[in-house]
Structure 1
Amino acid sequence: MSDQKPTPSGPEASTGLAKSFADRLTFPADTKAKPNPTASTFTPAAKFDWADEAETPTEEKSKEPTRSLPRAQTDGAADSSLEMAQTDGATTWMNGSAGLDEPEFDVNVKLADLQDDPNNPLYSVKSFEELKLREELLRGLSVMGFHKPSKIQERALPLLLKNPPQNLIGQSQSGTGKTAAFVLNMLSRIDLNTKQPQCLVLAPTRELAKQIAGVAKIMGTFLVDKGLEVFEAVPQSLPPRGVQVQGQIIVGTPGTVMDLIQRKRQLNVRGIKVLTLDEADNMLDLQGMGDQCKRVKMLLPKDHQVVLFSATFPPMVLDFAGLFAPNANQITLEVENLTVKGIKQMYLDCNSDQEKYEALVKFYGLMTIASSIIFVHRRDTAAEIERRMTAEGHKVASLTGALEGAQRDEVFARFRNGDAKVLITTNVLARGIDVQTVTMVINYDIPETVDHQPDYETYLHRIGRTGRFGRTGAALSFVSSKRSWDQLMTICKHFGVEPTKLDTSDWDHVEKMLKGIMKNARNVVPQAAGPEAAMDD
């Protein structure tokens, strides 16, 4: 059984899930969201066009996608902008991404109050200085290599930081700076004169929670001497029973946070000002996790700000999000435009599970990959691949929900620092995790929902672990049955791409193609704006 219940998709699944979730997601009359007749929608007049269409060169030209993936411009003003690219998720100090992945899309802003003027400069800033941030935060941003807001931050930060605080629902692709946006909001609102918890972040996995906490600690480096504390509310990292949790910012998983609040009574939430859900679509869609998030929210002060961020928001989940964040400002983009730049999408057609594994081993024998992630459905599949690849001499590690927290931390640390080049995992790591060395993602099993329908969102999140802006990447999917073939083709049709088939009868040709992709430096970004360079400024 997989670690994480997939998200149903399609009209059939939507109807049943929407009803069951709506039944469970009930708030008191004074907090329940109602349609807002004064809401207005603002779409910028000019399209943000900082990407172009270009093919990925290989040593032998193969059939290209019907709609090529966009890549960053490399001339003129774009160069100077890209040289000051941001990082997202884990910083480069934590082996995180060295740049942003900003595809071509319109940033659509829906304001909760018709009286607000979307053309007011307040709703689009071009520098962090315009936000009147604490000097310590500006210094922290500079050290991290954040020299200018990303497109999503230009719109989100003014809305997040305005007073009195307003709720926000933000949809933005992984790699565009959403983590930094909501962390900056929290660091701007805390009172450093008290250790009482004031901001709470809920994330679906311990790995993502620890990554977010790491971003908060580094961004708030210059606030530590003034009393900043960030606490990680994840299993095996908790204070002794009876000891109260201290820290202005708490980042954790819903179950652990709920346990600290109610059963152990170690987390006082009466001073919480901001509740943030990262990967909110996934959190609200899963029955158990959605219930936990709801219960946590019900225990917080009524006037807290709610911030929901995710790379994808299916329409039915977006409706549910409105219950969590009443009268929220919304920043969204169409899911069809959520694609990942610089990723070559390929597939291998195998006749059986045994042939799948043999092709996998042969594939890794052909080339040296900096780091890669293999996604599977089941824990036992992950364990078996780990055993057999280790026997073949590959440095691999397996990370699934079957491991205890400390073991998961140790395995993920090995992958981050390069001791293990291959990470085999279930969907537990499909979302949010940012490791800069990942150049290959393998869908050993095609992502599917509980009713065996193709899972578009999970596919997008999986391949988003590679191809971060400024780097090339590749995604390889294995098909071994008619069902898996149909699922992959449906997913590719949904995103408007045509994957390249690798001919396993000619491994020499496969090797040439793969090396051409991996050596392709068309997306390489100068690293002058990284943390080390920033400290020298």
Structure 2
Amino acid sequence: MEMTTKIDNWDESLGINDFNTDDKPKAAEENQLTTKIENINLSAGDSSASVSTTNGTTTELTADENVSTADLSYMRKVLRNKLLHTKNNVEVHRSKPDNPLYSVKSFEELRLPEELLKGLYDMGFSAPSKIQETALPLLLANPPINLIAQSQSGTGKTAAFVLASLCRVEPAERTPQVIVMSPTYELAIQTGEVAKQMAKHIPQITFRFGVRGENIQRGEQIADHVIIGTPGKLMDWIIKFKAFDVKKVKVFILDEADVMIDTQGHRHQSIRIQRSLPETCQMMLFSATYDKPVMDFAEQVIKEPVIIKLKREEESLENINQYYVYCNNEIEKYNALANIFGTISMGQAFIFCHTKASAARLAQQLRKDGHSVGLISGELSVEERTLALQRFREGQERVLIATNVMARGIDVEQVTVVVNYDLPINVETREVDKETYLHRIGRTGRFGKEGLAINFVDSPKTFGFITDLEIHFGRKILKLDATDIDEIEKINQE
């Protein structure tokens, strides 16, 4: 394929800086990831059906990739390097009317220990988020109050429960006083790193990870103040090995409850652990969703809680300029992509493809032509996907190619362009998937900024999908001639 322009016309004013590291292990991981992407076996293809379009071409259809809720939650956290600001209000439901209810606008109002306040500021927190404003006064109240909190990823839940639990620790008491339970190894490690960072000015507080690879000897007694782990390992330490006195635990946190109940065995293990704790233990449950399965689980674990909910930010097309590009074949699509990215200024971009194979094929072609692009695919391990997301977040790769995995609630503030290299198709109806379309292009135009969505169509049938989208969302999708550089530059100025 001929390609005359480089995908390197980036807008540096958006605050994305090149990230360089001399970390040799990380460099080795990155080389391994690059090699794997370049050698994904495309001949194996996806488990898919196909539909013939009216111009005789064939469009592949595939069921969405099988990515667990735990992996999706972890990917969101990896990408999140700052809090999501929301205009929505917090709903509060109290089982006891006498429970205190007030909010704060600054961390100083909470009268936190100076060392923790310093740790917060070192981490970049300047003021409480919406959910922290309401949750922290409740969590720090005496006597302790049980809490169930629901809000989407990036709203400050983790920092809230870590801060509140660290305030309960008595460093002189050499026994576990806080248990934080996460559904997976990766989520537990990430939460533990947040806790360590926040407590770095209180070196007397020590931490222990209860995850795979961390073992204790029979008869060993744990003296660390905070244990962060997964249900299976924690149940072994508490019930099988009796590695510490659970009656001295002051705070029990069940994080990612919606993921927890989606993982086989975790519900039962969580309940067993909770029932072994003293009546005086403060219980906290956090979840990104609060549907009936989560509610039923929460009621089994948390007694007489205060429930706070932060409504999810609605995805909207208000700030997104939408265009379509008509291409007659794959070569025209590829050249159109090159022209667009070689002409417009952007922060970062998502490119969505139908299938794992088509995403890998495009990534390989772009890399072959000298462009630095990332790939999120079911072909990659959790660790490899994490590394790809970190590179994207840090600006090392400013284009990320993916299937629908990335469309599910993962936000990057610097994303200004979304390209539907393939429009999303519902496998069952073989029509355009309008909900997925909204999720996809909703990655741009976030946080009140202008966004740009460009859709590639390659047949009369897929062109008809553009009309369907216009009617459904009530917004015009304008035609873009990707061979006309002047026309492309115009959309860059709008």
The code of the aligned residue for 1:4 comes to: V
Shift in Å at residue 468 of structure 1?
A: 6.3
Change in 2 beyond 3 A, CA 1:416/1:112: same
SS in 2 for 1:184: helix
Q: Is the 8 A contact 1:169 1:321 kept in 2?
A: yes
Structure 1: state its 5+ residue gaps: 8-87, 518-537
State whether structure 2 residue 136 is matched by structure 1 residue 161. no
In the alignment, what sits opposite 1:182? 161
Query: Residue 394 of structure 1: which of 371, 376, 382 is its match?
Result: 371
In the alignment, what sits opposite 1:229? 207
State whether structure 2 residue 391 is matched by structure 1 residue 414. yes
Shift in Å at residue 396 of structure 1?
A: 1.4
Change in 2 beyond 3 A, CA 1:177/1:169: same
Shift in Å at residue 110 of structure 1?
A: 0.8
Q: Once the two structures are superposed, what CA deviation does each residue of 1:166-190 show, in whole Å capped at 9, x if it has no partner?
A: 3333333444433322232232233
Change in 2 beyond 3 A, CA 1:396/1:170: same
State whether structure 2 residue 135 is matched by structure 1 residue 148. no
Shift in Å at residue 500 of structure 1?
A: 5.4
Q: Residues of 1 paired with 2:346 and 2:129: CA distance?
A: 30
SS in 2 for 1:222: coil
The code of the aligned residue for 1:295 comes to: Q
In the alignment, what sits opposite 1:202? 182
In the alignment, what sits opposite 2:67? 4
Change in 2 beyond 3 A, CA 1:229/1:316: closer
Query: Residue 95 of structure 2: which of 107, 112, 119 is its match?
Result: 112
TM-score w.r.t. structure 1 length?
0.59
SS in 2 for 1:108: strand
The code of the aligned residue for 2:165 comes to: M
Shift in Å at residue 111 of structure 1?
A: 0.9
Q: Is the 8 A contact 1:261 1:269 kept in 2?
A: no
Q: Residues of 2 paired with 1:201 and 1:487: CA distance?
A: 48
Shift in Å at residue 395 of structure 1?
A: 0.7
State whether structure 2 residue 274 is matched by structure 1 residue 295. no
Change in 2 beyond 3 A, CA 1:95/1:151: closer
- Whichever of the two has the greater Rg, that structure is 2
Query: Residue 380 of structure 1: which of 357, 373, 382 is its match?
Result: 357
Q: Once the two structures are superposed, what CA deviation does each residue of 1:120-151 show, in whole Å capped at 9, x if it has no partner?
A: xxx21232223232221111122233232233
Range with greater deviation from structure 2 (434-443 or 170-179)? 434-443
In the alignment, what sits opposite 1:102? 86
Q: Is the 8 A contact 2:339 2:485 kept in 1?
A: no
SS in 1 for 2:374: strand
Q: Once the two structures are superposed, what CA deviation does each residue of 1:217-275 show, in whole Å capped at 9, x if it has no partner?
A: 3322212x223336484x7xx447869898655556x5xx5357549979968646322
In the alignment, what sits opposite 2:232? 258
Change in 2 beyond 3 A, CA 1:126/1:415: closer
Change in 2 beyond 3 A, CA 1:201/1:241: closer
Q: Residues of 2 paired with 1:409 and 1:148: CA distance?
A: 28
The code of the aligned residue for 1:298 comes to: R
Q: Is the 8 A contact 2:129 2:155 kept in 1?
A: yes
The code of the aligned residue for 1:199 comes to: I
Change in 2 beyond 3 A, CA 1:512/1:342: farther
- The aligned length equals 409
In the alignment, what sits opposite 1:423? 400
Q: Residues of 2 paired with 1:450 and 1:281: CA distance?
A: 27
In the alignment, what sits opposite 1:139? 118
Q: Is the 8 A contact 1:371 1:437 kept in 2?
A: yes
Shift in Å at residue 365 of structure 1?
A: 3.6
Shift in Å at residue 2 of structure 1?
A: 0.8
In the alignment, what sits opposite 1:338? 314
Change in 2 beyond 3 A, CA 1:250/1:360: farther
Q: Residues of 1 paired with 2:397 and 2:285: CA distance?
A: 35
Over aligned residue pairs, what C-alpha RMSD do you find? 4.9
In the alignment, what sits opposite 1:58? none
TM-score w.r.t. structure 2 length?
0.63
Q: Once the two structures are superposed, what CA deviation does each residue of 1:83-125 show, in whole Å capped at 9, x if it has no partner?
A: xxxxx967xxx9823x64222x33221112133364xxxx212
Q: How much identity, in percent, do the aligned residues show?
A: 33
